[in-house]
A and B are shown apart, each in its own frame.
Chain A
Amino acid sequence: MLRVHDLNAWYGPSHVLQGVGFEVGVGEIVCLIGRNGAGKTTTLKAVMGLIARRGGRVLLAGEDILARPAHARFARGLAYVPEERRIVPGLTVGENLRLGLIATRRFGDAGREIAAMATLFPRLGERLDQIAVTLSGGEQQMLAIARAMIAGPRMIMLDEPSEGIMPALVDEMFALFARMKQSGTTILLVEQNVERALEIADRAYILDQGVIVHEGRARALLQDAAIKERYCSV
């Protein structure tokens, strides 16, 4: 689904990604782990097309999308839920969900699509007319995921979805990722909650100082205390 070769990215003079390469197969959950500042968020942003200065190759289903703007990547089935969730202030829950369809042909059917999402996310369904930023942190995260999923992307990238969320909702969220995988969505997951993430992931890459330093099966990494100690402690 996604192949990244020699991805480089800069913020001003600092060379944040220095030749990152990884692959996410169709239907896989792949986890990108590493310390704060390792370049995880930058990797997702560069793949989505939100970093101005970048180089390398990003192949989505075989097509190089690196030169394409973010909105064109969305049109090719790539969705991204940023760490800050980016729920639009001033709009209701329903309107935020509508935004997920705004660039698609299914916008006219938004009412039905939102009703379908509401069955998947009952907490959101009950609060469609509420101003979205008044939701709890966990509910806002669910909304951000629902907004990205409503258009039916082939692949979704999630940045720290469990950050700052109460434990009961974290369980719900990881169960949701497993269901998304079952329904055929490919997932690239960046997560501080490494244990939980590796439990549901197929494979994982470890990023350190802008380069991939390790890759492997999620299950194997889960048991490798040395690796976890070295790269995953915050």
Chain B
Amino acid sequence: MAGLSLDLLALQIFTGLALGAVYVLLATGMSLIFGMLTVVNFAHGAFFALGAYAGFLVLALGGNFWLALLAVPIVTGLLGMAVEWGLVRHLYGRGIDDPLLLTFGLSYVLVELIRIFAGTQGLPFDTPDALAGAVDIGIGYFPLYRLFVIAMTVTILFLLWLFLERTRIGLIIRAGARDPEIMRVLGVDTGRVWRLVFGLGTAIAGLAGLLAAPLQGVSPEMGNAILADAFVVTVVGGMGSLAGAIIAGLLVGVIVSLTALFAPEAGDVAIFALMAVVLLIRPQGFFGRAGLMS
């Protein structure tokens, strides 16, 4: 490892943080949905892909990236709420398996719909002009767009935190995740809140897909691979824990990035090995509550 400088290592860690930021967004949405609805959303990756394609459509129709940044979460959020209303809500109270199978099937349908309307081939997605190029961050030159992805993730998480901690609906969500029945007794129509939470999760997933698009292009299957990674993040961080999603997301991003540098052949295995170790030592994940699945 003679050629390895500290700067290169630091840059690779930074690259990992940018990748981790996308994981964090996906896992945050999944955790939010699981924490409140006890639904493991296997369609989360499909909403990720839909977000990227919705952004592609906005650009194709003459809009710019900034407009897409606004429109995509609205579109995937509303679609998520429609899915909750039409499909998911009928399975509440039927254990964890039924909604899991439903969303698993739904993800195939959504990906197939993308293939039908947008083709099976991947499409290029340009980095917006204002965010092209690289900047010197002290340890070397780093792509500006990746910095933007990190900054956007921090902003989204901050807004989410404000929403959960400082608003009325946020208080309902925090309390409802712990005890939905008492919320109904106190006059809350929890069905509407659950719909909103599902939509919030899919809105963030769509936004993550849009943010990831310039990094990797768009393809119908783009959500499948990242869903597996986001799952690892959710399990390692603890199902239902937002803090866990953030810390585990960044950790997994950095591990993926460093594995790519040191042992590329172990690339796909490293994070699953991490998950196995965490599950052995701490089955509920970093911040998960024990016995949530039982």
Interface residues of A (CB under 8 A from B): 48-50, 69-71, 74-75, 79-80, 82, 86, 88-91, 95, 98-100, 102-104, 107, 147-148, 151
Instruction: Report the separation of the CA atoms of residues A176 and B175 in the bound assembly, to the nearest whole angstrom.
Output: 27
Instruction: Report the separation of the CA atoms of residues A126 and B5 in the bound assembly, to the nearest whole angstrom.
Output: 58
Q: Is B57 an interface residue, CB under 8 A from the partner?
A: no
Q: Which residues of A contact B184 (CB under 8 A)?
A: 49-50, 69-71, 74
Q: Which residues of A contact B168 (CB under 8 A)?
A: 102, 107
Q: Is B60 an interface residue, CB under 8 A from the partner?
A: no
Contact (A102, B171) CB under 8 Å given A88-B179, A90-B178 = yes
Contact (A74, B185) CB under 8 Å given A102-B168, A107-B168 = yes
Q: Is the CB–CB distance between B171 and A71 below 8 Å?
A: no
Q: Which residues of B contact A148 (CB under 8 A)?
A: 186
Q: Is the CB–CB distance between A82 and B185 below 8 Å?
A: yes
- Give the distance to chain A from B24, nearest Cβ to Cβ, in Å: 22
Q: Is the CB–CB distance between B175 and A71 below 8 Å?
A: no
- Give the distance to chain A from B172, nearest Cβ to Cβ, in Å: 6
Q: Is the CB–CB distance between A103 and B185 below 8 Å?
A: no
Q: Which residues of A contact B190 (CB under 8 A)?
A: 71
Q: Is the CB–CB distance between B185 and A70 below 8 Å?
A: yes
Instruction: Report the separation of the CA atoms of residues A99 and B181 in the bound assembly, to the nearest whole angstrom.
Output: 13
Contact (A95, B188) CB under 8 Å given A86-B179, A88-B182 = no
Q: Is the CB–CB distance between A89 and B183 below 8 Å?
A: no
Q: Is the CB–CB distance between B174 and A90 below 8 Å?
A: yes
Shortest Cβ-Cβ A-B pairs, 7 listed = A103-B187, A74-B187, A70-B184, A86-B182, A88-B175, A71-B189, A71-B187
Q: Is the CB–CB distance between A99 and B178 below 8 Å?
A: no
- Give the distance to chain B from A75, nearest Cβ to Cβ, in Å: 6
Instruction: Report the separation of the CA atoms of residues A71 and B175 in the bound assembly, to the nearest whole angstrom.
Output: 15
Beyond the given A95-B171, A102-B183, could you list 9 further A-B residue pairs with CB under 8 A, ordered by the A residue number?
A: A50-B185, A69-B189, A90-B178, A91-B174, A99-B171, A102-B187, A102-B188, A103-B186, A148-B186
Q: Which residues of B contact A95 (CB under 8 A)?
A: 171, 175
- Give the distance to chain B from A14, nearest Cβ to Cβ, in Å: 19
Q: Which residues of A contact B181 (CB under 8 A)?
A: 50, 86
Contact (A147, B175) CB under 8 Å given A86-B181, A102-B168 = no
**20 pairs, CB–CB < 8 Å, chain A vs chain B:** A48-B185, A70-B185, A74-B184, A74-B186, A79-B185, A82-B185, A88-B179, A88-B182, A91-B171, A95-B175, A99-B175, A99-B186, A102-B168, A102-B183, A102-B186, A103-B188, A147-B186, A148-B186, A151-B186, A151-B187
Q: Is the CB–CB distance between A102 and B172 below 8 Å?
A: yes
- Give the distance to chain B from A36, nearest Cβ to Cβ, in Å: 22
Find the A residue at minimum CB distance from B172.
A102
Interface centre among B175, B181, B182, B190 (most CB of A within 10 A): B182
Instruction: Report the separation of the CA atoms of residues A80 and B190 in the bound assembly, to the nearest whole angstrom.
Output: 17
Find the A residue at minimum CB distance from B177.
A90
Q: Which residues of B contact A70 (CB under 8 A)?
A: 184-185
Find the A residue at minimum CB distance from B191.
A69
Instruction: Report the separation of the CA atoms of residues A151 and B188 in the bound assembly, to the nearest whole angstrom.
Output: 13
Instruction: Report the separation of the CA atoms of residues A151 and B187 in the bound assembly, to the nearest whole angstrom.
Output: 10
Q: Is the CB–CB distance between A82 and B182 below 8 Å?
A: yes
Interface residues of B in 190-219 (CB under 8 A from A): 190
Instruction: Report the separation of the CA atoms of residues A91 and B181 in the bound assembly, to the nearest whole angstrom.
Output: 16
Instruction: Report the separation of the CA atoms of residues A79 and B188 in the bound assembly, to the nearest whole angstrom.
Output: 13
Q: Which residues of B contact A69 (CB under 8 A)?
A: 184, 189
Q: Is the CB–CB distance between A91 and B175 below 8 Å?
A: yes
**Chain A proximity mask over B151-191: 1 for CB below 8 Å, otherwise 0:** 00000000000000000100110110011011111111110
